C-alpha cells in the first residue's frame, strides 16, 4: 500500500481520493488559460494562480509532512526565478534585436490563431510561472511555521 | 450615484481600520478598501451598450468597453494578494512575540 | 442597470457585517460574500479578465486569512471599555469626508460615457499593431509592458519579504 494512505493526518479518505483525481484537470485548465491569453479572457495572471491553487489543494488534503517530501520550497523558488528571467530576457532581447526596450520582435501572424501576436504567448508563460512559484512559496512558508503559543 | 456607493464601501473599510482593536480586523478592513478601489476603477471604464474588449469574427467594429482600467485592475488584484501574505506574516510574528492580537496591549508592552 | 445597484448594496451589507461581528471566522466568510458580489459585478460591467482573476485570488486570500485566524481556537473580538470620544470623532470625520466626496464625484464624467482619449487609439489599432485578439492582453503586454515588469518586481519583493520574516523552519519556543 502506498505510504500516504496510512498516515493519520490530512483529511478523510474521501477527500484524498477526490483531490487525487481533480488535481490534473485543474493544472490542465491553468495551462490552457496561460497559453490562450491572447485569444480568450485570461492570460498569465489567472493561469498562474489556478496552478498554484491546485498545489495548495494537495497540501491541504494530504497534510503537511507527506506533501513536503515531494514539493519543497526550493522547487517553488526555482519556478519563480525562472519565470522572472524568461520575462526579463524577452525584454532585453527586444533591445538587442529591434530598436528599443520591449519591442515586439516576433512576427505577428494571422489573428485568432494560437501562434500569433509576437512574443505575447512567451511573456504569458513567463508571468504564469512567476505567479505560480510565488504564491505557492508564500503559502508553504505560512503553513510550515509552527507557533507554540504559551501564556 | 454608483461611484458614491463604491466610495461608501471604501469608507466602511476605513472605519474598520480606525476603530477596531484586533489586529486581524484591521487587516480585513484593508482588504475591504482594496475591493472598493477595484470596483471604482472598473466603473470608470464602462460604456453604455458596450461589449467585452475581445475582437471576434463578427465583432470587429463594435462598441468596446474601455480596456485600460481593466489592465490596471488585473495587476492590482494580483499585487493585493502578495501584500496580504506579507501583512499576515508580520501578524503571525507579532503574535509569537507578544501572545496577543490586541493593539492596546502591544502598545503597552515595550521590548 | 438595477443589477449593479443590487450588487453594490450587497457589498455594503456584507462589509458592514464583516466589520461588526464578534467571531473572526464569520467576518472572513462575510468577506468572501463581498468578493463574490464584486466578481459578479465585474461580469455585468463586461470585464471577464478581472472577474476570473478576482474569484481565483479571493479563494487564496481566504485560505491565508483562515490560517491567520486559526492560530488560537475560537478567537473572539476584544471588547475593552468603549471610548466614546474616539467613536464620535471618527463618525464626524467620516460624514464630513463623505459630504466632500459626494460633491467632488459629480465632476467626473457621467456613468456610461467615459472620455476615452488614449484608449480609443488602443481599441482602433490594437489588432493590427499587435496581432492579439484580446485587447486587455494587448494593452498589458505590448502597449504597457513596462508596467507589467514593475508589477512582477513588486510581486517578487513582497513574496521575498514574507519569506524572510518567517524564516526559521519549525521554530519552537524553548
Q: Is residue A149 part of a domain?
A: no
Candidates A47, A61, A102, partner chain C, best to mutate (most C CBs within 10 A): A102
- Give Cα A54 to chain centroid, integer Å: 9
Range in A3-17, A29-43, C38-52, C114-128 the model is least confident about: A3-17
CATH of B2-108, picked from 1.10.3720.10, 1.20.1270.10, 3.40.50.80, 1.10.287.3510, is 1.10.287.3510
**C173 pLDDT more than 60:** no
Q: How far apart are CA C122 and CA C111, in angstroms?
A: 21
**DSSP calls for chain C:** -HHHHHHHHHHHHHHHHHHH-SBHHHHHHHHHHHHHHHHHHHHHTT-HHHHHHHHHHHHHHHHHHHHHHTSSSS-B-------HHHHHHHHHHHHHHHHHHHHHGGGSPPTB----HHHHHHHHHHHHHH--SBHHHHIIIIITHHHHHHHHHHHHHHHHHHHHHT-STT----
Predicted local confidence at residue B56, as pLDDT:
77
**C174 pLDDT more than 50:** no
C49 versus A3: which is more confidently predicted? C49
Predicted local confidence at residue B7, as pLDDT:
94
Q: Are B51 and C123 in contact (CB under 8 A)?
A: no
Q: CA C74, C65, B35 angle in degrees (round to 5)?
A: 130
Q: Are C35 and C10 in contact (CB under 8 A)?
A: no
Q: Which of C22, C164, C158, A135 is nearest to B93 (CA)?
A: C164
**How is chain B split into domains, by residue range?**
2-108
Candidates B78, B96, B97, partner chain A, best to mutate (most A CBs within 10 A): B78
Instruction: Kindly compute the dihedral angle of the four CA atoms of residues C27, C29, C31, C34, in this order, to the nearest 10 degrees.
Output: -130
> Residue A28's CB: how many other CB atoms inside 10 A?
13
Which residue in chain C has the smallest CA separation from B66? Answer: C119
Residue B47, SS3 per DSSP: strand
Q: How far apart are CA C15 and CA B67, in angstroms?
A: 28
Residues in chain C closer than 8 A to B79 (CB atoms)? 151, 154-155, 158
**Burial class of residue A65 (count of CB atoms within 10 Å of its CB; 0-12, 13-18, 19+):** exposed
C134 touches chain A (CB under 8 A): yes
Residue B64: strand pairing partners = B51
Q: Which of A79, A72, A88 is nearest to A51 (CA)?
A: A79
Q: Is residue A150 part of a domain?
A: no
Residue A102, SS3 per DSSP: coil
Q: Is residue A89 part of a domain?
A: yes
Q: Which of C28, C144, C139, C111 is nearest to B39 (CA)?
A: C111
Q: Are B102 and B21 in contact (CB under 8 A)?
A: yes
Domain that holds residue A72: 3-144
Chains that touch A (3 or more CB pairs under 8 A): B, C
Q: Smallest CA–CA separation between A33 and chain B, in Å? A: 15
Q: How far apart are CA C82 and CA B89, in angstroms?
A: 30
Residue A17, SS3 per DSSP: helix
Q: Tell me which residue has cell 488584484.
A: B77
Q: Which of C41, A92, C157, C24 is nearest to B102 (CA)?
A: C24
Number of domains chain A contains: 1
Please report, rounded to a whole number, the percentage of residues in chain A having pLDDT higher than 90: 40
Q: Is residue A107 part of a domain?
A: yes
Q: Is residue A8 part of a domain?
A: yes
Range in A56-65, A67-76, C103-112 the model is least confident about: A67-76
Which residue in chain C has the smallest CA separation from B102? Answer: C78
Residues in chain B closer than 8 A to A112 (CB atoms)? 56-57
CA-based torsion, B89, B93, B98, B99: positive or negative: positive
C152 touches chain B (CB under 8 A): no
Residue A149, SS3 per DSSP: coil
Mean pLDDT of the region C116-121: 84
Between chain B and chain C, the number of residue pairs with CB atoms below 8 A apart is 232
**In degrees rounded to 5, what are phi and psi of residue B49?**
75, 20
A40 touches chain B (CB under 8 A): yes
Which grid coordinates are listed for A14? 474521501
For the segment B77-111, what is each residue's pLDDT rounded down to a tens digit?
Answer: 999 999 999 999 999 888 888 888 888 878 776 65
The pLDDT confidence band at residue C172, using thresholds 50, 70 and 90, is low
Q: Do C24 and B24 touch (CB under 8 A)?
A: yes
The pLDDT confidence band at residue A150, using thresholds 50, 70 and 90, is very low
Q: Do B52 and A135 touch (CB under 8 A)?
A: no
Amino acid at each position: 500500500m502506498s505510504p500516504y494512505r496510512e498516515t493519520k493526518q490530512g483529511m478523510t479518505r474521501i477527500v484524498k481520493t477526490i483531490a487525487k483525481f481533480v488535481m490534473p484537470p485543474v493544472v490542465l485548465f491553468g495551462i490552457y488559460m496561460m497559453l490562450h491569453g491572447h485569444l480568450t479572457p485570461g492570460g498569465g495572471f489567472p493561469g498562474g494562480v489556478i496552478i498554484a491553487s491546485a498545489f495548495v489543494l494537495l497540501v491541504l488534503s494530504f497534510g503537511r509532512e507527506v506533501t513536503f517530501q515531494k514539493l519543497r520550497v526550493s522547487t517553488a523558488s526555482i519556478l519563480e526565478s525562472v519565470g522572472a528571467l524568461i520575462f526579463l530576457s524577452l525584454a532585453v532581447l527586444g533591445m538587442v534585436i529591434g530598436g528599443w526596450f520591449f519591442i515586439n520582435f516576433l512576427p505577428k501572424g494571422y489573428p485568432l490563431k494560437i501562434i500569433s501576436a509576437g512574443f505575447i504567448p512567451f511573456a504569458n508563460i513567463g508571468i504564469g510561472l512567476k505567479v505560480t512559484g510565488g504564491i505557492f512559496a508564500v503559502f508553504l512558508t505560512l503553513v510550515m511555521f509552527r507557533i507554540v503559543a504559551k501564556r | 450615484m454608483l461611484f458614491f456607493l463604491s466610495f461608501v464601501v471604501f469608507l466602511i473599510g476605513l472605519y474598520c481600520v480606525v476603530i477596531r482593536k484586533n489586529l486581524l480586523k484591521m487587516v480585513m478592513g484593508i482588504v475591504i478598501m482594496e475591493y472598493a478601489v477595484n470596483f471604482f476603477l472598473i466603473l470608470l471604464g464602462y460604456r453604455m451598450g458596450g461589449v467585452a474588449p475581445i475582437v471576434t469574427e463578427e465583432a470587429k467594429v463594435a462598441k468596446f468597453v474601455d480596456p485600460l482600467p481593466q489592465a490596471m485592475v488585473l495587476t492590482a488584484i494580483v499585487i493585493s494578494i502578495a501584500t496580504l501574505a506579507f501583512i499576515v506574516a508580520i501578524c503571525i510574528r507579532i503574535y509569537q512575540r507578544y501572545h496577543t492580537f490586541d493593539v492596546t496591549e502591544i502598545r503597552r508592552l515595550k521590548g | 442597470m438595477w443589477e449593479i445597484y443590487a450588487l453594490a448594496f450587497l457589498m455594503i451589507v456584507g462589509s458592514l457585517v464583516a466589520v461588526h461581528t464578534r467571531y473572526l471566522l464569520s467576518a472572513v466568510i462575510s468577506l468572501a460574500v463581498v468578493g463574490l458580489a464584486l466578481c459578479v459585478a465585474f461580469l455585468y460591467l463586461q470585464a471577464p479578465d478581472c472577474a476570473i482573476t478576482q474569484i481565483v485570488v479571493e479563494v487564496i486570500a481566504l485560505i491565508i486569512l483562515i490560517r491567520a485566524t486559526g492560530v488560537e481556537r475560537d478567537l473572539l473580538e476584544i471588547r475593552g471599555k468603549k471610548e466614546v470620544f474616539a467613536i464620535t470623532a471618527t463618525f464626524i470625520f467620516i460624514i464630513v469626508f463623505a459630504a466632500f466626496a459626494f460633491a467632488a464625484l459629480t465632476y467626473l464624467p457621467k456613468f456610461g460615457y467615459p472620455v476615452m482619449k488614449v484608449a480609443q487609439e488602443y481599441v482602433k489599432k490594437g489588432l493590427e499593431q499587435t496581432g492579439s485578439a484580446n485587447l486587455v492582453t494587448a494593452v498589458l503586454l505590448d502597449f504597457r509592458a513596462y508596467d507589467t515588469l514593475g508589477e512582477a518586481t513588486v510581486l517578487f519583493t513582497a513574496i521575498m519579504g514574507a519569506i524572510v520574516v518567517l524564516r526559521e523552519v519549525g521554530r519552537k519556543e524553548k
